[in-house]
Structure 1
Amino acid sequence: MKTLDLLHRWIGGLIGLILAVLGFSGALLVHKDIWVLLPHASDAQLQDTAAVAATVERIMADPATRPDMITFAGPDFGLNRLKFPDGSGAYTDQAGNLVTRWSSQWERPELWLFDLHHHLFAGDTGETANGIAAIAGLFLTISGIILWARTRKTFEFRLIPRRISRPAVLRHHRDLGVVAAPFLILALLTGGILVFRPMAALILGPTAPAQIDASLKTPAYPSVRLAQKHDWRAIVEKARTRFRDAEIRSLSLPRQGSGLITVRMKRPDEWLPNGRTTLWFAADDGRLVKARDAAHLPEAVKIYNMFYPLHAAKVGGLGYRLVMTFTGLALGLLGSLTAWSFWFARKRIRRPAPRLVQAQR
């Protein structure tokens, strides 16, 4: 037990601040669609085929100003988001009228906060660090439950410490941690799996990573050039004809050497905000190359596709968002106060004063 306690304290001290950043930023991102205060952000979602097609035609009309990607308005956020090749972006209303544009993510708090939570402003390196922190956080949560059992008779739940002293902080840490433990395990486990796909093998079986990779793979197709003029209306109409019950969630131009335009759709039984029902159209002539129905994906992949909505509280309504808000705030408090108590409030070890040596008689 002493070894477990030592590991718990040192690992918590080393990664506490990373977990705090993930917790507090995650709690804010859960409610991102509410605090983005822009005109038309609260508009009702429009999914009429003709209206969506007209919007795409308007946005994609000029090849010189075409975005790489359109993410369409959803049930909880009434603006389309555009992503441009130079890294800039914009919001438009659902008719395609410009609402605001930015040249850098630093101009939009919801964007840099998302980058902080997912990449720690460090790209793939930061994402890997987050994954390691999530795995370490799982160990801290489970070991914390074991260590808490010794002091369970003194349990007293408090949202914040009674006072900012090391004993009060440690007691608050133990009791808050055990209350939040089930939700922390859910958030940390789903976050770790999303970063390190092989972790899915622990939950979904050894063949799951290969099945997931296959389900996300873009079809092979020659790297043809994007036509200057496209019948965007025909692409939207073909997608809607193929999956009549699905929302059109995004449209992406070819990337990474692909010659395919990608349309993602969300069918009613999918949890992912943008769905995994996908259609690919040839970039030169717009013909449908392949369609992938999320309903026909392997069961392991369907379960994997539920992890992000669970992690980001994209299902369950307000009640579940509040649960994940509590989880993020709890993780933020546990991580930050752990770092403070470990590095700045450790008890000083008082050495006993040397005894006076009695003089020899």
Structure 2
Amino acid sequence: MRLLDQLHRWAGGVLGILLLVLGLSGAALVHRDAWIGLPHVSDQRLVDPAALGDLTTRLMADPATRPQSIIFASDTLGLVRLSGKGGAGAYADQSGAIVARWSSQWERPELWLFDLHHHLLAGDVGEAIIGVAGAVGLFFVISGVTLWWRTRKSFAFRLWPARITRPAILRHHRDLGVLVAPLLLLSFYTGTALVFRPFAALTLGPGAPAAIEAALKPPRASGARLSDAIDWRAIVATAHKRFPEAELRLVSLPRKDSGLISVRMRQPEEWLPNGRTTLWFAADSGRLVAARDARDLGWQARAFNLFYPLHAAKVGGLAWRLVMTISGLALALLGGFTCWSFWFARRRTQIRRA
């Protein structure tokens, strides 16, 4: 038990600041659509397929300004997001008029905050670090609850330490940690599994990573170049005809040499904000190449698709957003106070004793 206690303390001392950053940024991102603060942000989303086809055609018309992808308005955000190369992009209203434009993610707080939370502003390396931190976080929760059990009779509900002293902070850490342990377990596990898919096997079985990979794999690349004569109205109409109950969420130009335009739709049963119901169209002709209904995926892939909406509070409305806000703020408190008590408060105590 002593070794477990030392491992818990040292891991917390080393990763405390990172957990503080992840907790605060996550709590802010949960409410991102509410604080973007641009005109038309509260507009009701378009649902008419013909109007969405016209909007896509207008946004894709000029090859010089054509976005790499379009994310259509949702029930919580009435703006259309356009993404370009090198972090450039724009928000447009649902008539296609540009509301805000940026050449770098640093010009939009919600974009760099998202990058901070998901990649530590360091690309794939940062994402890997966050994945490791999430895995260690699972150890924090399990070891913390185990260590708390010895002191359970002294438990007291407190959101803030009684005093800013090392003993008071340690006691607050134990009691707050056990209160939010289920939320932290969910946050750490879903976040880690999204970065390191093999972690999905812990709850979905040993065959989950391969099943997920197969479910998300696109058709074979064709290498076809994007034609300037693509009929975007026809693409949108075909997508709605194939899946009439689904909501159009995203249109993306071919990546690398895939030669495929991808269209993502969200079925009524899906929790994932942009859905996993996907259609692929030939980039040179606009011909439908393949379609995949998220409802036909295996249970492991469908379960994996629940991880992100649970982690990012994209389901459950305001109630679940508040729950995950509590998770983020609690993580920030635990991480920040742990780092301070481990590196600074203990040193002060040792100096006074000397």
Name the TM-score, length of structure 2 as normaliser.
0.98
Percent identity between the two aligned chains: 63
Task: State whether residues 27 and 324 of structure 2, in contact with CA within 8 Å, keep that contact through their aligned partners in structure 1.
Answer: yes
- Provide the residue aligned with 1:152 in structure 2: 152
Matched, 1:238 2:238: yes
Tell me the SS of whatever aligns to 1:101. strand
Deviations 1:296-328 (A, max 9, x none): 001100000000000001111111111100000
Aligned equivalent of 2:42: 42
Secondary structure (helix, strand or coil) at the match of 1:99 reads strand
| Residue 339 in structure 1 maps to residue 334 in structure 2 | no
> Deviation at 1:206?
1.4
Contact 2:86 2:104 in 1 (8 A): no
Cα shift at 1:350: 7.2
In the alignment, what sits opposite 1:94?
Answer: 94
Query: What secondary structure does 1:332 align onto?
Result: helix
Distance 2:145 2:107 in 1: 42
Q: Which residue of 1 aligns with 2:17?
A: 17
Q: Report what 1:288 is aligned to.
A: 288
Per the alignment, residue 128 of structure 2 pairs with 128
CA distance in 1, matches of 2:33, 2:304: 24
Counterpart of 1:302?
302
Q: How far has the Cα of 1:214 moved from its partner? A: 1.0
* Residues 211 and 300, structure 2, Cα contact 8 Å, conserved in 1: yes
- For 1:357, the equivalent position in structure 2 comes to none
Corresponding letter in the other structure for 2:160: I
Of residues 295-304 and 155-164 in structure 1, the stretch that sits farther from structure 2 once superposed is: 155-164
Aligned to 1:118: 118
Number of equivalences: 353
User: Where in structure 2 are the equivalents of 1:67-216 lying within 5 Å?
Assistant: 67-216=67-216
Show the counterpart of 2:221.
Answer: 221
1:8 equivalent in alignment to 2:13: no
Distance 2:299 2:222 in 1: 31
- d(CA) in 1 for partners of 2:80 and 2:21? 28
Q: CA RMSD in A?
A: 1.3
Residue type matched to 2:301 in 1? V
Amino acid at match of 1:341: S
Question: What secondary structure does 2:85 align onto?
Answer: coil
Segments of 4+ in structure 1 off by > 3 A? 347-353
Which deviations, in whole Å up to 9, do the C-alpha atoms of 1:7-29 show, x marking residues without a partner?
11011111111111111100000
Deviation at 1:65, TM superposition (A): 1.1
What is the match of residue 61 of structure 2?
61
Unaligned runs of 5+ in 2: none
Q: Distance in 1 between matches of 2:252 and 2:303?
A: 25
Q: CA deviation at 1:85?
A: 2.4
SS in 2 for 1:289: strand
Shift of 1:86: 3.6
Q: Spell out, residue by residue over 1:176-209, the C-alpha distance to the aligned partner (whole angstroms, 9 max, x if none).
A: 0000000000000000100100111121111111
Alignment gaps of 5+ in structure 1: 354-361
User: Is contact 2:221-2:257 (8 Å) kept?
Assistant: no
Map of 2:320 onto structure 1? 320
Q: How far has the Cα of 1:259 moved from its partner?
A: 0.3
- Rounded to whole Å, the distance in 2 between the matches of 1:98 and 1:221 is 33
* Distance in 2 (alpha carbons) for counterparts of 1:77 and 1:97: 16
Cα separation, 1, equivalents of 2:323 and 2:240:
35
What letter is aligned with 2:317? G
* Deviation at residue 55 of structure 1 after TM alignment: 0.5
